[in-house]
Amino acid sequence: MNYIGSKYSLLDFIHKTISEVTGYASGDGFIFADLFAGTGVVGASYRKEGCYVISNDIQYYSYVINKYCIEGSENANASLINELNSLSGTEGFVYKNYCAGSNCGRNYFTDENGKRCDAIRIKIEELYNQNKISEEIYFALLAGLINSIDKYANTASVYGAFLKHIKKSAQKQFKLELLPRIEGPKGKVYNEDINELIAKVHGDVLYLDPPYNSRQYCANYHVLETIARYDNPVLKGKTGLRDSNGQKSKYCSKRTLASEFENLIANAKFKYIFLSYNNEGLMDIDAIKKIMSKYGAYKCFTQSYKRFKADKDENRNISGSETVEYLHCLIKER
């Protein structure tokens, strides 16, 4: 998925730095926690190396994807995928609220793709409720649905707005595809606010990748949240935002960020803590250093990085196309 803050292209830098600081090597089987997991790429890369991975995110669509990547081992068979892809479209929640043909005033998907998405989402729930598929297959199908439908969205990149005219990639006929199966130990996935979860987990390495700025994930990915939950929410305004239901992150506000972060570090029961952040984030490097240094030995690694595509689409007035990506490291002593 093209996700704000995805660490897909920084995986080598993250693995190299974590190995350098901790001395861990692939196959050592340590407990690795990825508690702002997003698309789950970081946790999944450690599961592949034999780690027991603890994963968490406040968003439910992310929980769904991580249930598949971190806990899943079974996959749906091809005949079930064919059956789902052959369903006739249904005028369900997606069509009625996100497609222009229903006169809702929104244009996130073509009418046909919206109806196909509804038919598949309804069928997945029905199969699960009738005990025709296991919980693992349920999450495999939902994760596949979230990941696939995103490729047909008529947006510039996120769901903060839709485009007036249907763009080329959104015109193609929507097809459900499964995500690749991740081999490795079965981990544990949570869907909680990290500052509440932190008291309940412990391990070797804690990897932190919070939002860097004030853009809330609940607002930028609200359509995926609704498709994942399929809970008929009341939608508001031109873009059809759902109620954030306590999903507004304190890491997106300068007022709450520093105290929330310090609280997290203070309560973490992990020997090593790594924080990804960049040079344009709400918290500056000195503030991070000051907080982390209070709890043990601190070090910082950097890598230059190409900015997320949406930054160019939005009016953020930042020149240049590269940012500096930091990996702040703490060996916890207190």
Ligand X SMILES: C[S@@+](CC[C@H](N)C(=O)[O-])C[C@H]1O[C@@H](n2cnc3c(N)ncnc32)[C@H](O)[C@@H]1O
| Residues engaged in binding ligand X (CB under 6 A) | 3, 5-7, 36-39, 41-42, 56-59, 62, 193-194, 209-211, 217, 249, 251
**Cα torsion 116, 238, 62, 26: sign:** positive
For residues 14 and 34, give the distance between their C-alpha atoms in angstroms, rounded to a whole number.
12
Cβ-proximal residue to ligand X, closest one: 5
Residue 110 or 249: the one with the smaller Cβ distance to ligand X is 249
CA distances from 22 to 50, 53, 239, 268, 331 (A): 16, 16, 45, 17, 9
Compute the least distance from the CB of residue 4 to ligand X, in Å: 6
Q: Which of 308, 275, 317 is nearest to 292 (CA)?
A: 275
**DSSP label of 53:** E
What is the smallest separation between the CB atom of 184 and ligand X, expressed in angstroms? 17
- Nearer to ligand X (CB atom), residue 171 or residue 267: 267
Give min distance, CB of 53 to ligand X, in A. Answer: 13
Q: Indicate the residue among 36 and 270 with the shorter CB distance to ligand X.
A: 36
Q: Where are the beta strands (DSSP E) in the chain?
A: 31-34, 52-56, 188-190, 202-208, 269-278, 296-306, 322-332
Cβ at position 127, least distance to ligand X in Å: 28
Output 114 or 211, the one with its CB closest to ligand X.
211
CB nearer ligand X, residue 37 or residue 179? 37
Strand partners, 241: 236
Residues 6+ apart with CB under 8 A from 226: 93, 233, 242
In the complex with ligand X, the residue whose CB is nearer, 7 or 115, is 7
CB 54 → ligand X: shortest distance, Å?
13
Whole-number minimum distance, CB 300 to ligand X, in Å?
18
Residue 264's contacts (CB-CB under 8 Å, 6 or more residues apart) are 194, 195, 198, 208
Give the number of other Cβ atoms within 10 Å of residue 110's Cβ. 20
